[in-house]
Amino acid sequence: MTNNKQANPDLQPKRRKLAVNDPPGDSNPDHEAKKKRKKDKLEQVNSEISSALVKAKDEIQKNKKHKKIKKKNPEPAEVSDPPNAPEEIVLEGEEDLSPEERRVLERKMKKILKKEERKRLREEGETESKTDSDGPTAAQMALDYLTCWAENRGEWKFQKTRQTWLLQHMFDLEKVSKDKFAVLLEYLEGLRGAAKDTSVQKAMALVQQSGETQDDAAVQQRALRAREVIQLLS
C-alpha cells in the first residue's frame, strides 16, 4: 500500500525558505536593547564617580583650610570623625550592576582615591614612609633570632635573611652589643660554605685597615672583633 504522504505531495509539510536579507544567527532585539541599557548605566555610574571624586577633593581642601584655622585658634578637644575622610559615596544605579561589574568599579574607585591621597600628601610636603610603630626593625628581628637560637633552640628556625644581617653588622659595636657578639661567636661555630669564607675575608680586610688607620678608635674596635672571628673560623 502506497504511503498517503508520498502519493499526495500537498500533504507534506512545507519548509520555510530563508530570505536573502534574514540576519544570521539568533538575533534578539531584546538582548541588544538590554546590552545598550547596561552600557548606558555603566557610563552613568562612571560619570557619577568623577563627580563624587570632585566632591571628595573639595571636602579635603575644605578640611585642610579648617585645620589651619583651628591651629591658629585652638578649641577644646572634641570627638569627631577622622580628618580628611570623605563621605561614603553612594552611586545611583549601582544595584543594577552584576557582581563582576561592581568589583571593577570598586577597584577603579579605590585606585583613583589612592592617587588623590598621594597627591595631597605631596602638596603638604609629607612622605609615605614606615616608622618604628609599623613593626620591629630588621636589626631587632635579627637580634631576636639570635636570642631564640641561644635560649630556645626547640622553636628556633634557620632564616637566611636574619643571618645575613648579623654577618654584615657583627663588627659594629652600636648595632651588635658586646653580650650579643659573644652569643654570635657561638653561633658562628656552625657557619659553613660561602657565608664562612665571606666572613673570614671581611674580617681580614678590617684587620688590614686597622693597620693603616691606627688613630681611628672605631676601626681598631672593629678589628678586635675581626681577629676573634678569624681565629674562630680559620
Kindly report, residue by residue over 152-204, the tens digit of the pLDDT.
Answer: 999 999 999 999 999 999 999 999 999 999 999 999 999 999 999 999 999 99
113 and 36 share one domain: yes
225 and 197 share one domain: yes
In whole angstroms, give the CA distance from residue 112 to residue 107. 9
116 and 142 share one domain: no
Is 92 inside a domain boundary? yes
Range 204-221 average pLDDT: 87
Q: For residues 83 and 62, is the Cβ–Cβ distance under 8 A?
A: no
Poorest-confidence range of 12-16, 123-127, 174-178? 12-16
User: Crossing angle, helix 217-233 and helix 178-188, to 10 degrees?
Assistant: 30
Q: What is the pLDDT of residues 138-154, one digit of tens each?
A: 999 999 999 999 999 99
Which structural domain range is residue 218 located in? 138-233
CA Rg value for the chain: 37
Range 83-92 average pLDDT: 47
Is 130 inside a domain boundary? no
Domain boundary among 93, 123, 153: 123
Residue percentage of the chain with pLDDT more than 90: 35
In whole angstroms, give the CA distance from residue 63 to residue 123. 14
Residues 123-128: contacts with CB under 8 Å, at least 24 apart: 124/64
Is 119 inside a domain boundary? yes
145 and 118 share one domain: no
In whole angstroms, give the CA distance from residue 158 to residue 14. 83
153 and 210 share one domain: yes
Range 78-96 average pLDDT: 49
Burial annotation 157-184 (CB, 10 A radius, 16+ → b, else e):
eeeeebbebbbebbbeeeebeeebbebb
Q: What is the pLDDT of residues 36-76, one digit of tens each?
A: 777 777 777 677 777 777 776 677 667 666 655 555 555 55
- pLDDT bucket at 125, cuts 50 / 70 / 90: low
Domain boundary among 76, 99, 123: 123
Domain boundary among 89, 123, 157: 123
226 and 160 share one domain: yes
146 and 114 share one domain: no
Is 219 inside a domain boundary? yes
Split into its structural domains, the chain has a count of 2
The position carrying cell 504522504 is: 5
Residue 43: per-residue pLDDT: 76
Is 201 inside a domain boundary? yes
In whole angstroms, give the CA distance from residue 53 to residue 120. 13
- pLDDT bucket at 83, cuts 50 / 70 / 90: very low
Residue 200: per-residue pLDDT: 93
Is 203 inside a domain boundary? yes
| Closest by Cα among 56, 39, 40 to 90 | 56
Residue 96: per-residue pLDDT: 62
Residue 71: per-residue pLDDT: 55
The amino acid present at 132, given as its one-letter code, is D
60 and 89 share one domain: yes
Residue 20: per-residue pLDDT: 46
Between residues 172 and 10, the one the model is more confident about: 172
